Structure 1
Amino acid sequence: MLRMFLKLVPLLFLFLGAAQAQRTTQDVFMMQYFQRRLQELEERVIRCDQDLQTVNHKMYDVSAEVRGQLRGVTALKTEMQGHMENLALRVDRVERDVEYLQNKIPELSEVEIAESVLEEQVKEAKEKKKAAIPQNKDCSSQLTGIKSQKIVKKAGDLNGSWMRDPTKGSSRIYFFSGSRNRTLLEFVSMKTFTDTNWTRMAEAILLPLPWQGTGSVVHDGFIYYHHADTRNEVLKVHLLNRTVVDRMLLPGAGRMPAYGLSPHTLLDLAVDEMGLWAVHADPDFGGNLVLTKLDSNSLSVEHTWDTTCKSDEAEGAFIICGTMYVVYNSQSGGRSTIKCLFDIHDTLLTEEVPSIYFPKRYTSHSGMQYHPKEKQVYAWDDGYQTTYKLDLKKKKQAT
């Protein structure tokens, strides 16, 4: 019995070993199967991630293309708005001209009126053709030359403007430093302005909104200036209480600098014996200057003239008795010269008036304001505050 048991023991161990080997082989097969499945899943995840990246790139490209098209549409919209504004301006001018011509042309029923009456009407029509604004009898001056130059001082930025209020007969000086600012300085007199401690003697006037360019003016107790960051808005601010009392959009202005050598000034305001004026350049008119008469009380446009004076290489302009004198120079700086003028009454022509030269100076004027009572120009010459006494003579009346 014991001998038989001993024979069975090796057989038992052999059977157990074979069973264990079979289980080990099955486990290896299962592990290999799971590894293959995991590898297949990993490859699928990688392909899916690649597909997502491809889709994202395509979506980005489509988004960029849409943004570009939107920018193009916005640019076209802005351009169309500019064209529409210009068209409206042109239509308004044509309507005014047609109305003006209709007022001049007699009705057919009046063709058979007396010859003397007809001659009188023709004469009247010629008078009206000179200008929409009648010539002021008290304003009979025309510029013939620069009598003298005086450099008052050097202060502030390279660009700016300074002036007096001509309507008040005041001795106060108004100092606009820079082509963009919100604070101007007021001095009680020229003596205070030229004093050594001039900054301590100045009164700082904080405007409600900043100005742009060097075309600001002080007129009858109000400050008129181009509102910064707008194309063509003109503000009227009360000098004492610093509030905006009126504003207007100057038709056609602000699309290019008024003067080629003063790129910071999109529109220039001026005062003469006849009141308030505005000057700007029109790209649709070959870059020529456009002169506009404004009502200083309501800021409404009284009349507009397209002039033959070029804005290219111009540095500034001023107006005397309804005649605009345009000052030219060169990019490198030199001697300023009046080479073009425009008289709204047609009593003066550029070709009939010789070029007027300014005394030798520094570089270029950035601001020029005429004072009707003093008969001189307050100029800003590369940071130098300068005055020019003018040589004037009686202006012939329109015939």
Structure 2
Amino acid sequence: MRLQASLLCLSCLILSSQSQVEEKGSLRRSNDPTGRCHYTFTVASPVESSCPESSMKPENEGVLPRLTLLESMVSRLIAGGDGGSGRQMGSKGEEPLQEAYAQVTSERNQLQQDKDRLTRQIQDLQKRLGELSQEAENLRQTPCKQTHTSGAGQRENRPAGADSNLVAPSNWPSCGVMLHFNAFQWNPFFLGCGELLSVGDPVMHKKADSITGKYGVWLQDPEPRGPHYTNKTVWRIDAVGKDVRQLFAYEDMDQFSRGFPMKVLILPEPVESTGATMYRGSLYYQRKRSRSLIRYDLASESLATRLELPHAGFHGQYPYSWGGYTDIDLAVDEQGLWAIYSTSKAKGAIVISQLDPKSLEVKKSWETNIRKNTVANAFMVCGRLYTVASYTAPNTTVNFMFDTATSTGRAVAVPFKNKYRYNSMMDYNHAQRKLYAWDNFHMVTYNIRLGRAGRGSS
């Protein structure tokens, strides 16, 4: 009986406890937003019939779990714990950034190259300006005879090749020193003619982008004519090909460097090699496989004059040492238009002829004592012929000079650089006082310095 009473009492207690739990507490099992199983035990307050208003609105109650989930996903992406998907997303997102970075880097490098080139040009100009200032000071301190003060006397004593664009300032002594003006440009560095003293380092302006540009002709007209083209216009002929007829015109040096021609002219006759030149609104060149010279008028875009150069060798008879059918080389300087070539009578020695710019007729000729095929190239400056010893040696010389004023020649040794090891064209521009050259796909210029006997540079 005592055992039964104990069991009955224990049953009552259990039932009472269950009743209290059912009234005051509850146990709930559910998944949280991450998918994990959670048990929640809820107990009613024994003293409060209702809770104060919750500070969290019902619609915001789920924000905290979602933020927790988001933080977990971000941590996984950073740690790469999502099986590689984070890395893939990162690489896809990095591709535009990498492209933009590469473009910015390329533009920065290009700007740095342009800055370096302009810095070198500024240094060269500053050096020349200092030399010219010194020369001007020397001239001011040199006593000169005051002769031919009248305008007629001054006109009678102009040097050969001078024209009405040469003006002597009234406050300068009449020592033959003149400043050069023309309708398009004033060149403050021009102080008259003299012998070649030095050739500067090459400055690259453009590199050809195809095999047709291995060698060719590029230049600017030192004395342009007409409204369409100026002394800033750049001209180019790619001389590699069977039928070379295209003449490219660029608005200025900047457009030339960028490779944007403003016009392409088709020449009436094909061009032979790299001996063409530009002068007073006309292109002068040798017709292919002939000794015929052609003057092509740029304004009318037509053939203006055609004439054979008497007895001139052509198409490989008397070329420069680099070859290229460079038998006839046309050149321009302060005294006008010239032809550099050879004949059977001269037995391969260089012949210089001054030509009439309109009719192309020979005005006068000189025969030198240097064989044409032993030099790499030649150019005219102030009525003097200069030859270059090598077209491939990185450090060579201007090795010979012939003066048409005295009909005498002699050896010289002015340092000259072939930076790209295949210099196939050379022309002098007296307005810019520069040499234009085509060196193994590269179009370059050289600053030159002239001087007088017994004086400094000019």
TM-score for the superposition, normalised by structure 1: 0.60
Letter in 2 for 1:257: Y
Other-structure match for 1:9: none
- 1:269-316 Cα deviation digits (max 9, x unpaired): 000001100010234323110000001022111001101122123221
What secondary structure does 2:310 align onto?
coil
* CA distance in 1: counterparts of 2:450 and 2:294, whole angstroms: 32
Q: Given the superposition, is the C-alpha separation of residues 297 and 327 from structure 1 closer, same or farther in structure 2, using an over 3 Å criterion?
A: same
The answer on whether the counterparts of 2:318 and 2:373 sit within 8 Å (CA) in structure 1 is no
Other-structure match for 1:142: 195
* CA distance in 1: counterparts of 2:360 and 2:383, whole angstroms: 18
What secondary structure does 1:358 align onto?
strand
What secondary structure does 1:171 align onto?
coil
Residue 389 of structure 1, aligned match among 447, 452, 456 = 447
* CA distance in 1: counterparts of 2:231 and 2:453, whole angstroms: 27
TM alignment of 1:52-131, pairs within 5 A = none
Pairwise CA distance, 1:343: 0.5
Letter in 2 for 1:184: L
Letter in 2 for 1:241: S
Other-structure match for 2:101: none
The answer on whether the counterparts of 1:166 and 1:219 sit within 8 Å (CA) in structure 2 is yes
Other-structure match for 1:209: 269
2:408 aligned with 1:366: no
TM-score for the superposition, normalised by structure 2: 0.53
Letter in 1 for 2:420: Y
Q: Given the superposition, is the C-alpha separation of residues 166 and 303 from structure 1 closer, same or farther in structure 2, using an over 3 Å criterion?
A: same
What secondary structure does 1:345 align onto?
coil
Pairwise CA distance, 1:333: 4.5
Other-structure match for 1:291: 352
Residue 235 of structure 1, aligned match among 287, 294, 301 = 294
Pairwise CA distance, 1:366: 1.0
Residue 318 of structure 2, aligned match among 246, 250, 257 = 257
Residue 337 of structure 1, aligned match among 385, 397, 413 = 397
The answer on whether the counterparts of 2:193 and 2:450 sit within 8 Å (CA) in structure 1 is no
2:284 aligned with 1:224: yes
Other-structure match for 1:321: 382
Q: Given the superposition, is the C-alpha separation of residues 333 and 262 from structure 1 closer, same or farther in structure 2, using an over 3 Å criterion?
A: farther
- 1:313-347 Cα deviation digits (max 9, x unpaired): 322111011000011216x6443421111101128
Q: Which has the larger radius of gyration?
A: 2
* CA distance in 1: counterparts of 2:249 and 2:454, whole angstroms: 38
Q: Given the superposition, is the C-alpha separation of residues 204 and 135 from structure 1 closer, same or farther in structure 2, using an over 3 Å criterion?
A: closer
Letter in 2 for 1:249: E
Pairwise CA distance, 1:237: 1.0
Higher mean C-alpha displacement, 165-174 vs 341-350: 341-350
* CA distance in 2: counterparts of 1:302 and 1:396, whole angstroms: 32
* CA distance in 1: counterparts of 2:240 and 2:384, whole angstroms: 26
2:229 aligned with 1:167: no
* CA distance in 1: counterparts of 2:364 and 2:436, whole angstroms: 26
Other-structure match for 1:77: none
* CA distance in 1: counterparts of 2:373 and 2:319, whole angstroms: 9
* CA distance in 2: counterparts of 1:250 and 1:347, whole angstroms: 21
Other-structure match for 1:356: 414
Which runs of 5 or more residues in structure 1 are unaligned? 1-132
Q: Which protein has the bigger helix share? A: 1
Pairwise CA distance, 1:396: 7.7
Letter in 1 for 2:204: I
Other-structure match for 2:9: none
Identity of aligned residues (%): 26
* CA distance in 1: counterparts of 2:447 and 2:222, whole angstroms: 15
- 1:332-388 Cα deviation digits (max 9, x unpaired): 64434211111011287424xx31121351223111110001110010001100100
Q: Given the superposition, is the C-alpha separation of residues 219 and 170 from structure 1 closer, same or farther in structure 2, using an over 3 Å criterion?
A: same
